[in-house]
Structure 1
Amino acid sequence: MLVAAAVCPCPPLLVPEVAAGAAPELDAARAACSDALGVLAAARPDLLVVLGTAGQGGRGPFPQGTPGTFRGFGVDLDVRLGPAARPAPERELPTSLAVGAWLLERTGWADAPVEGLGVAETLEPERCAETGRELAGRAARVCLLVMGDASACRTLKAPGYLDERAAPFDAAAARALGTADVAALRALDSELAAELKAAGRAPWQILAGAAENTGLAGSLLYEDAPYGVGYLVAAWS
């Protein structure tokens, strides 16, 4: 059963070594992520699942100890998914889960076993709900660390350029995440999300599936759009 969740953005720039001189610009987001992970630790889970989007080669489950790296972003920094309790698997974490692993390392996570799950950005809403239910049934007390960005079309300099639909989409997502509104998350338009490059849509809808009939309450801890990309941090408990 899902007992708590943390929703965090997953840009590599969240990692100070990657952001370099621009690192202070996301200090507030990092602080909010730490607060959200604190909610997970307080829930005393039997299992933590780190969830995010991945390309074709990075989908599927990842066991505890799976390595990730930020070398592709020009920095000599490696991470692991939770404490490395077994020999490192051959596969590497997709970027979204590597950022999640970095957050766990930063907060010194040692409260429960950790697994990772990478999914396609295009995962259908119905399948998202099914996946969420499956994750919630993995243990008596399950927590999710949900990694995903909102739209990438908030400004002219955004990766997806300016789209007037982006701000309303992000506002709806923020309201749903901040109030743990499962129905509103389910109602997010997957086609619009794809057009707005909102990579968090599928992970958020998986969270909605996991949270069915749990009565969890939500709190929005951070909402901003630096670099024209919507970043949201929320905690459910």
Structure 2
Amino acid sequence: MKLRYKLFIFDIDGTLTSTNRLIFDSFNHIYDKYFGKILTPKEVIALFGPTEEEIINELFGEDAEEAIVEYFNYYEKNHRIAALHEGIAPLLDFLIEQGAHIAAFTGKGRRSAEITLKELGIFGKIGILISGDDVTKKKPSGEGINKILQFYNLKPEDAIMIGDSTADIKAAREAGVAVASVIWDCYSIDAVRGLNGEMLFNTVDELRGHFNGDEKSIS
């Protein structure tokens, strides 16, 4: 079977993994301890962009070093409330069996990204991980995608970015690669649909169908 692409670049949170609740809870663990405050999911999402350590260093002042330790201890110990999305592990196995390269490009820091990929059992399936710590310009910049293309010595037309956010779409377009938007765990569906409605996928099975060349799989 010939796949459409040679390189598949996946976002992590909301794409490969169901980790949004864990992220919300981890931030609220330290917000409650140091500020006596609980953030809404919308307020936590508004923090996204920098890595976790950058966010905490900016907001927690002299308590930042201790709060970082608290955050990662909680984050690592509570992966029981996180999971791979249904069908992701078989999809990755299928792509690898077909000779494809698998990469991860995330805005989260390397430490949390590695924790999640290891705890959920797919770290060994990822050929290269580019995190928010590995770039000078974070998503929506395409710098991370370009680093992955360079690592594999591939051209933009050989690759596709798979993600759940508008930042993933913008990064992919800046780098010149195809982009598939997945909405099975997306907190900004309308915005994503507005930017990439022609390549929108509701399920992992739909996405796999597109990789196999099935035009009908596109929502």
TM-score interval for Structure 1 and Structure 2 normalised by the shorter chain: 0.3 to 0.5
TM-score by length of 1: 0.36
* Higher-strand-fraction structure: 1
Bigger RCO of structures 1 and 2 (CA < 8 A, at least 6 apart): 1
Structure with greater helix share of residues? 2
TM-score by length of 2: 0.38
